[in-house]
Amino acid sequence: MIEQPYTLACGQQLANRFIKAAMTEGLATPEGWPGNAHLELYRRWGAGGSAAHISGNIMIDRRYLERAGNVIVEDNSGLDKLRAWADVVHAGGSLLWGQISHPGRQCPRQICAQPLSASAVRLDLAHSFGQPRAASSAELHDIIERFANTAAILQRAGFDGVQIHAAHGYLLSQFLSPRTNQRSDEWGGSLANRARLLLAVVRAVRQRVGPAMCVAVKLNSADFVQGGFTQQECLQVVEWLNDCQVDVLEVSGGTYENLVMFDALPAEQIRASTRQRIATFLDYASAIKRVAQMPVMLTGGFRTRSGMVQALQDGATDFIGLARPYCLQPDLASQLIAGRMETLPIPEARLVLGQGYFGPNSRAHLWRTLNNLAQAAWYYHQIEALAAGQPPAPEYGARSALLSHVLNDQRRIRRYQQHQRQTARG
């Protein structure tokens, strides 16, 4: 089944059931444009056999970034560079969907000291993120317009679709969650009010791009934090999305406060935890499939080709979303379709810095954070290697990756800050 094509409601045909899920790249120029690094990275991925590729976060507002190095699309100033990005993916035989996003409170404090959110609820990782303020109704209407504007520009640049990011604790996800949305106006309180922003964004994007462009949504099956967005609430939101002409619904889960899909584990717990993650997300996806009238894409937890085939045969999902394995095997989809690969290249066990957080001690949160950061940094290193035309480096150490990422991120932040100052001076 993994090699079978699928025609979406918008008329777009996907050559097979593999979609590369979004991973933040951090490769953009200080202006927020994709450059040569993007072209090389997506040239390699685009030729790898996946039906479609979803970009990393494309930001709708340069004042609020997920990280320095994000692509920013507010106007036509980088249109030729966006076209080149789409062209290089098309040359490899794949489609390109741009993931459009607003980080809300998950905006680094060095980018913005006081970001916007649904309410003034600060992220637990307070050392990295500033105190947010509640967005006004006028600002929310501006955000809706920005999503639609960015989608229209990407369409003009030749992108085949957009994915609206409403998962992982970003702004639209913050509005869905009662943990972060404590408003008492028309944007908060009941689930219908909390979902108002997401539904308005989806409708505005569809109206702007018309019926022939793919409009996808990435939605948490649950936040997996106390007081957060629940599975039952997810099912209701999916029912509302059924009326919004959504072409693909990607099912994910977690926020920065609980990165369930990006959690480093000690070696002896890898296998049991992986089985549990796969079972958990398959259960959630199956429940969503019973409600969703659009095809579902399940991302995260897959480790074997046979597991993917089984999930498709069981009707738990329509598409297989994979992300990190592409950092080590750019032609991953081709290998899986041809039956030349059974187990995905995911070296989880060697990416753990320490196991202290699994014991009852005061450093539990610190260890968990460091392990997750090291794992993320290791994959960032692989992305940077591919973007530089180099082979993946599976032997690279987690500690080296973490140190390199911190230094590189600071350099990107300084370049972003310098560009902002120059722009402000005119």
Whether 408 is in a domain gets the answer: no
Whether 396 is in a domain gets the answer: no
Amino acid letter for position 374: A
Domain carrying residue 34: 6-350
Q: Which of 184-188, 306-310, 348-352, 398-402 has the lowest mean pLDDT?
A: 348-352
Q: Strand 296-299 to strand 95-101: parallel, antiparallel, or no bridges (unpaired)?
A: unpaired
**String of DSSP letters for 43-82:** HHHHTSS-SEEE-S-EES-TTS-SSTT-EE-SSGGGHHHH
What's the rounded Cα separation, in Å, for the pair 253 and 263?
Answer: 12
For residue 191, give the CATH number of its domain: 3.20.20.70
Q: Strand 13-14 to strand 6-7: parallel, antiparallel, or no bridges (unpaired)?
A: antiparallel
Distance, C-alpha 163 to centroid of its chain:
9
Q: Give the global pTM.
A: 0.92
Whether 355 is in a domain gets the answer: no
Q: Which residues of 212-238 are buried (b: 16+ CB within 10 A; e: fewer)?
A: ebbbbbbbbbbbbbeebbbbebbbebb
Query: Which residue reads 């303020």 in tokens?
Result: 133
Please, which pLDDT band fits residue 98 given cuts at 50, 70 and 90?
very high
Q: Residue 421: how many CA atoms within 13 Å on its side-chain side?
A: 6
pLDDT of residue 359: 47
What's the rounded Cα separation, in Å, for the pair 398 and 410?
Answer: 18
User: Percentage of the chain surpassing pLDDT 70?
Assistant: 87
CA distances from 124 to 129, 181, 223, 353 (A): 9, 15, 15, 22
User: Percentage of the chain surpassing pLDDT 90?
Assistant: 70
Whether 228 is in a domain gets the answer: yes
Whether 411 is in a domain gets the answer: no
Helices (H) and strands (E) in the chain, counts: 13, 14
Whether 223 is in a domain gets the answer: yes
pLDDT of residue 284: 85
Whether 44 is in a domain gets the answer: yes
What's the rounded Cα separation, in Å, for the pair 308 and 300?
Answer: 11
Q: Which of 81-95, 225-239, 372-386 has the lowest mean pLDDT?
A: 225-239
Give the pLDDT confidence of 16-31 residue by residue, as tens digits: 999 999 999 999 999 9
pLDDT of residue 357: 43
pLDDT of residue 132: 95
Whether 150 is in a domain gets the answer: yes
Please, which pLDDT band fits residue 200 given cuts at 50, 70 and 90?
very high
Give the pLDDT confidence of 32-45 residue by residue, as tens digits: 999 999 999 999 99
Q: How many domains does the chain have?
A: 1
Amino acid letter for position 281: F
Tokens coding 367 = 């260890």
C-alpha gyration radius of the chain: 20
Please, which pLDDT band fits residue 256 given cuts at 50, 70 and 90?
low
